[in-house]
Amino acid sequence: MRRWHEERNVPPTGTELCRVDDILPGDTREVNFSSESKYPFNLFIYNDEGILRCYLNRCPHFQIKLNLDPGKFLNLDRTMFMCQHHMGKFRIHDGFCTEGPPQGSKLEIVPININDGIAYLGSPI
């Protein structure tokens, strides 16, 4: 499987993703590039009480987006990310799957840099 930075249509390092103030604590923001393409590049960013966490929006089980509804990434009690296709649940702080078919796998973390209140795509590690 390809890493996030090897995906088709990945934007260059330093691409603006969003303003930090646009995501309230406890909320997510979906960010899509080349959405009209057969191979869009999809991310989501979560504001974890002031710490922004960014993940590739791809379930490790079926390699499809976690969400069916725009911006919906959290379970009902808003304590975990959840794949809406098969109900796999992932920890917020590291993307590790604790329940569901991809149990034991992880969402892929995408590095971001914050500068002057704006989140930018980081460099591959």
Asked if residue 10 is part of any domain, the answer here is: yes
Range of the domain at 49: 4-72+107-121
Number of structural domains found in the chain: 1
Please state the φ and ψ torsions of residue 4, each to the nearest 5 degrees: -55, -40
Residues of the chain with pLDDT under 50: none
pLDDT (tens digit per residue) in 44-77: 999 999 999 999 999 999 889 999 999 999 999 9
Asked if residue 93 is part of any domain, the answer here is: no
Asked if residue 98 is part of any domain, the answer here is: no
Asked if residue 49 is part of any domain, the answer here is: yes
Nearest Cα residue to 115 out of 16, 27, 6: 16
b vs e for 22-44, b when ≥16 Cβ sit within 10 Å of the residue's Cβ? ebeeeebbbbbbeeeeeeebbbb
Asked if residue 80 is part of any domain, the answer here is: no
Q: Measure the CA–CA gap between 99 and 6, rounded to whole angstroms.
A: 28
**Residue 119: other Cβ atoms inside 10 A:** 21
Any idea what the CATH number is for the domain that residue 112 is in? 2.102.10.10
